[in-house]
């Protein structure tokens, strides 16, 4: 429908009276066990001038999705994909480095699933720090110097429940985990 010129046909009142209309759009979004009010000012929503029926076309839904990510404080799907591509990583390479299972990264990059706040923070560290990427890619290393660097990264995530911590998804060496636990 977005390529079709206005006015569009309204399926409710059976008249060609749908026109673009900039409106305030509000809804609640539940994410990570919290409910947040999302407010978007002046979003173009095709609306019937006769009965008020609103049609959410692809461009309207794209604006709503983008704004929802921003208001939740999450990286958008485009930002995740662009950051991965800047690092010249394939999806599978990045999933392996982060210890993700299944198609998590693909679902985040397409916007099918919101990443948790904890994993969003983890992604930001991964994208921003070459040292964090090196540590995560070389998870079998047991150098004592790495333990100090990992502890620094871990402190950034100390508020994350242990079940979601990066230790669970990145450290598989018993010697390395013991060295970390000892600090």
183 residues of the chain, pLDDT tens digit each = 557 899 999 999 999 999 999 999 999 999 999 999 999 999 999 999 999 999 999 999 999 999 999 999 999 999 999 999 999 999 999 999 999 988 999 999 999 999 999 999 999 999 999 999 988 887 655 554 555 565 566 666 655 555 444 433 333 334 344 334 443
Alpha carbon distance 89, 86 (integer Å): 8
Structure tokens at 69: 């990510």
Provide the pLDDT for residue 143.
53
Angle between helices 91-98 and 130-137 (to 10 degrees): 80
Pick the CATH number of 18-72 from 3.10.20, 2.60.40, 3.30.1490, 3.90.1150: 3.10.20
Backbone phi and psi for residue 48, each to the nearest 5 degrees, phi listed first:
-75, 125
From-to residues of CATH 3.10.20 in the chain? 18-72
pTM for this prediction: 0.70
Cβ(42)–Cβ(22) below 8 Å: yes
Provide the pLDDT for residue 101.
86
Return all residues near 70 (Cβ < 8 A) that are at least 6 apart.
76
Three-class SS of residue 48? strand
Structure tokens at 59: 């461009």
């Amino acid at each position: 429908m977005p390529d079709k010129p206005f006015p569009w046909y309204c399926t409710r009142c059976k008249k060609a009276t749908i026109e673009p209309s900039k409106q305030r759009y509000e809804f609640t979004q539940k994410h990570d066990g919290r409910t947040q009010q999302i407010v978007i000012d002046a979003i173009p929503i095709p609306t019937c001038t006769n009965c008020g029926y609103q049609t959410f076309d692809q461009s309207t839904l794209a604006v709503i999705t983008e704004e929802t990510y921003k208001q939740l404080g999450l990286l958008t799907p485009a930002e995740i994909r662009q950051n991965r591509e800047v690092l010249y990583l394939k999806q599978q390479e990045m999933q392996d480095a982060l210890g993700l299972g299944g198609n998590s990264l693909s679902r985040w990059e397409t916007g099918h699933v919101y990443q948790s706040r904890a994993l969003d923070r983890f992604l930001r560290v991964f994208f921003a720090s070459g040292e964090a990427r090196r540590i995560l890619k070389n998870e079998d290393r047991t150098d004592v110097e790495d333990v100090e660097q990992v502890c620094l990264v871990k402190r950034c995530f100390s508020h994350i429940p242990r079940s979601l911590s990066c230790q669970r998804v990145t450290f598989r060496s018993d010697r390395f985990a013991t060295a970390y636990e000892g600090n």
